[in-house]
Amino acid sequence: MSANLRTRAALAAGIMLGGMTMLSPGVALSQSANPNNITGRWNAVANNSTGSLNITQSANGSISGNFLGIPLQGYYIPSSRRLVFVRFANGIPIQFYSGWISNNGLGLGGQFNVWNLPNGAAGGVDYNFSATKVSDFPN
């Protein structure tokens, strides 16, 4: 499967999951959820790992937070709904995430590249990820 096809599949899964979130009982989201501000807590799946993705977005589009307890930093561009971030371990970047936020701002999908393997990502190590927003608050 090509990287482009994997990216599209992950995006479709993220959008689909975002739509299902609106139907789930007990979801703590404001009525104004939209793709302009992605601050919040997200339930995420990245390869075989699942857990919380916590994002805080600043006015200039930079984002910070953590995924599975590992710090992240990146950027979000609301006009294109494009999201990129890097996860860090001991100050060293270990994974690069690239994706898109769904039209309604409740889902995301994309791919990530692993940099912390013995030969780096020389073998083209990349995986899909997706997430569904579950709260407007990052923690």
State pLDDT tens for residues 76-108.
999 999 999 999 988 888 899 999 999 999 999
Q: Is the pLDDT of residue 23 over 70?
A: no
d(CA 40, CA 22): 15
Tens digits of per-residue pLDDT, 107-122?
Answer: 999 999 987 665 555 5
- pLDDT tier, 43 (very low <50, low <70, confident <90, very high otherwise): very high
- pLDDT tier, 65 (very low <50, low <70, confident <90, very high otherwise): very high
- Region 62-84: mean pLDDT is 96
pLDDT at position 91: 87
- pLDDT tier, 34 (very low <50, low <70, confident <90, very high otherwise): low
Q: Is the pLDDT of residue 63 over 50?
A: yes
- pLDDT tier, 126 (very low <50, low <70, confident <90, very high otherwise): confident
Q: Which residue has the higher pLDDT, 41 or 92?
A: 41
